[in-house]
């Protein structure tokens, strides 16, 4: 749908971002649903791949703001410290969008790799703040058997988010 | 006239007549009503006939549908509505089934401790990054839940405590969290200790009972219950069983690895004990009438208190 008039253009932009928000709301619901796609203690992240897809398709600044919004959603749905994940996703989405724009082509393989790196980064940072810095010991096994597989699982499922976001992006095209 | 018999058309006509005559003779000689060429023709045409029949029936059906389109649409709407109602009923049935199970569990728990006040709650959220099993339940301050309330599984085993309370939801910190100390006692031997989360065992859903005396008589399989010491947890709440007893690093005491009775990582329904102080205070604080007996009991503490 290519639109040109100013009013329709604004409407298209609003609808497109409403769709992105809807997707991330669904992702947040799935991510916090007990037992959904949970194997052992490994459960995939859904919010982060959606944020990264939006950041890659909508450029760094829009992606960063969207990441912050999604991070807040994550914080609230998981009962975490409000703002920490929001800040983390803001930075990660901004950086990922720039890296993809400068050095990578947008395809499934690259998206999976970017997701793997970002999931590992976010999960490891969280692990550092919540489990290592408080002084808990003997967590290497937990890291290797829960956190790393979780990042892998999330990365494998990430093309779903890419497909959804790409569909919305191509469905609501705004002609400058 | 002579020329007529020699014409090609006539010759063809005769040939066709001979052919037809031969066909009749062959059919008559074999006692069959249909001739071979007819069968061949029929075999060749059969697929086309079937195709034509399908198309014909299709057209006929389409026409029939077109003629009856209003009644079909009406029927379709009726069936859709019926389907929707049945799906709603199915959802309602599932909900009632879950609620019924929850009430049955609640009834069982109330029979164990009828003086406590319970609120039934379902687990609605688990964070993939959470490593000690903390989760969110669907009841909050509007339902009477407060920070620090004790959470038990639907079979009555200790799960944890309320860490944060929102209006309609609450976050539960489990007994697998290091630092979540609970005063407990080995039910059989009355050996007391502190139940605590341990990073080494939490991945397997286990926790530890620390500060057990070095010469404890507790063995694998012994039941662990809360003591109620400190007033934060009600007494006699079941926790789990001993899986292993190990000496502490310093060698001054022992540590028991506890397998909680509640499946903390997978539990979907819990009960929150919102009020047990009345019950425990009625147990602990005697009335003035039996003050003398209280003094007697203070000097001769009960088994559990002696270990505490």
Measured CA to CA in angstroms, residue A96 lies from A25, A91, A100, B193, B298 at distances of: 21, 8, 6, 50, 67
Q: Which residues pair with B223 in a beta bridge?
A: B241
Min CA distance, A104 vs chain B (Å)? 28
Mutate to test the interface with A, among B124, B128, B204 (most CBs of A within 10 A): B128
Compare CB distances from B128 to A43, A131, A138 and report the shortest one's residue.
A43
Domain locations in chain B as residue ranges: 113-277
Q: Which of B127, B128, B131 sits opposite A44 (nearest CB)?
A: B128
The residue ranges of DSSP E strands in chain B, in sequence order, are: 117-125, 135-137, 150-153, 158-165, 170-174, 182-186, 192-196, 207-213, 223-226, 238-247, 253-260, 269-275
CA distance A157 to chain B (A): 15
- Chain B residues within 8 Å of chain A (Cβ atoms): 123-131, 134-136, 163-164, 169, 171, 178, 199-200, 202-203, 265-266, 268
Least confident segment among A12-21, A148-157, B153-162, B283-292:
B283-292
Q: What pLDDT band is residue B301 in, cutting at 50, 70 and 90?
A: very low
> B31 pLDDT band (50/70/90 cuts)?
low
Confidence check: pLDDT of B162 > 90: yes
Q: Which two tokens stand for residue B266?
A: 């997978």
Residue A142 confidence (pLDDT): 86
What is the pLDDT confidence band of residue B28, given thresholds at 50, 70 and 90?
A: low
Q: Does residue A59 or residue B64 have the better pLDDT?
A: A59
A·B CB contacts under 8 A = 68
Select from 2.40.10.350, 2.170.150.20, 2.60.120.200, 1.10.3720.10 the CATH code of B113-277: 2.40.10.350
pLDDT tens-digit readout, B194-242: 999 988 888 888 999 998 888 888 889 999 999 888 788 888 889 999 9
Residue with tokens 């976010």: A122
> A34–B126: do the CB atoms touch at under 8 Å?
yes
Residue B203 to residue A141, Cβ atoms within 8 A = yes
**Which of A74-88, A126-140, B99-113, B144-158 has the weakest average pLDDT?**
B99-113
Q: What is the ipTM of this complex?
A: 0.80
Return the residue in A35, A46, A78 with the most chain B beta carbons within 10 A, the one to mutate for interface testing: A78
A2-174: in CATH 1.10.1760.20: yes
Closest CA to B184 of B218, B146, B135, B144: B218
The two tokens of residue A41 are 């203690």
Chain A residues contacting B, CB < 8 Å? 31-35, 41, 43-45, 77-80, 123, 126-127, 130-131, 136-139, 141-142, 145-147, 150
- Burial label for B185, CB within 10 Å (0-12, 13-18, 19+), is buried
How do the domains of chain A map onto residue ranges? Answer: 2-174
For tokens 């892998």, the residue is: A152
Across the interface, which of A33, A123, A139 has its CB nearest the CB of B129?
A123
User: Between chains, do B124 and A126 touch, taking CB under 8 Å as contact?
Assistant: no
Distance from CA of B213 to the nearest CA of A (A): 24
CB contact under 8 A, A32 and B129: no
Per-residue model confidence (pLDDT) at position B304: 34
Point out the residue among A32, A41, A131 whose CB comes nearest to the CB of B125: A32
pTM here is: 0.66
B285: which residues sit within 8 A by CB, 6+ positions away?
none
The C-alpha of A137 sits at a distance from chain B's nearest C-alpha, in angstroms, of 6
Q: Nearest residue on chain A to B133, judged by CA atoms?
A: A41
């Amino acid at each position: 749908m290519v639109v040109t008039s100013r009013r329709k253009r604004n409407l298209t932009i609003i609808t497109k971002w409403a769709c992105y928000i809807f997707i991330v709301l669904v992702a947040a619901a799935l991510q916090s649903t007990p037992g959904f796609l949970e194997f052992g203690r490994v459960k995939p992240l859904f919010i982060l791949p959606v944020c990264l897809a939006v950041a890659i398709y909508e450029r760094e600044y829009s992606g960063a703001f969207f990441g912050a919004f999604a991070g807040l959603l994550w914080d609230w749905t998981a009962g975490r410290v409000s703002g920490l994940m929001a800040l983390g996703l803001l930075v990660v989405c901004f950086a990922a969008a720039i890296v993809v724009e400068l050095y990578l082509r947008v395809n499934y393989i690259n998206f999976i790799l970017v997701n793997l790196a970002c999931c590992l980064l976010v999960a490891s940072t969280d692990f550092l703040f919540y489990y290592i810095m408080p002084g808990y010991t003997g967590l290497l096994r937990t890291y290797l058997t829960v956190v790393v597989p979780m990042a892998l699982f999330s990365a494998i499922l990430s093309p779903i988010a890419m497909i959804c976001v790409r569909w919305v992006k191509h469905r609501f095209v705004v002609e400058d | 006239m002579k020329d007529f018999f020699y014409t090609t058309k006539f010759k063809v006509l005769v040939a066709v007549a001979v052919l037809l005559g031969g066909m009749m003779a062959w059919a008559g000689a074999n006692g069959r009503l249909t001739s071979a060429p007819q069968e061949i023709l029929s075999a060749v045409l059969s697929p086309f006939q079937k195709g034509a029949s399908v198309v014909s029936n299709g057209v006929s059906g389409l026409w029939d549908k077109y003629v009856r389109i209003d009644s079909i649409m009406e029927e379709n709407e009726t069936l859709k509505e019926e389907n929707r109602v049945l799906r709603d009923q199915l959802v309602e049935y599932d909900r009632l089934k879950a609620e019924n199970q929850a009430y049955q569990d609640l009834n069982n728990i109330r029979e164990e401790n009828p003086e406590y006040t319970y609120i039934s709650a379902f687990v609605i959220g688990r964070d993939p990054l959470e490593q000690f099993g903390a989760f969110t339940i669907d009841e909050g301050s509007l339902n009477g839940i407060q920070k620090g309330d004790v959470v038990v599984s639907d079979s009555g085993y200790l799960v944890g405590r309320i860490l944060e309370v929102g209006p309609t939801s609450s976050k539960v910190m489990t007994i697998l969290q290091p630092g979540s100390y609970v005063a407990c006692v080995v039910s059989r031997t009355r050996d007391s200790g502190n139940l605590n989360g341990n990073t080494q065992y939490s991945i397997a859903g286990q926790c530890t009972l620390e500060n057990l005396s070095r010469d404890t008589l507790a063995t694998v399989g012994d039941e662990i219950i809360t003591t109620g010491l400190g007033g934060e947890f009600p007494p006699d709440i079941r926790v789990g069983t001993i899986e292993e007893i190990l000496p502490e690093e310093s060698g001054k005491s022992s540590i028991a690895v506890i397998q909680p009775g509640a499946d903390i990582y997978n539990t979907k329904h819990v009960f929150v004990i919102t009020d047990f102080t009345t019950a425990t205070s009625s147990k602990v604080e005697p009335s003035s009438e039996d003050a003398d007996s209280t003094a007697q009991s203070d000097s001769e503490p009960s088994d559990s208190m002696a270990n505490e």
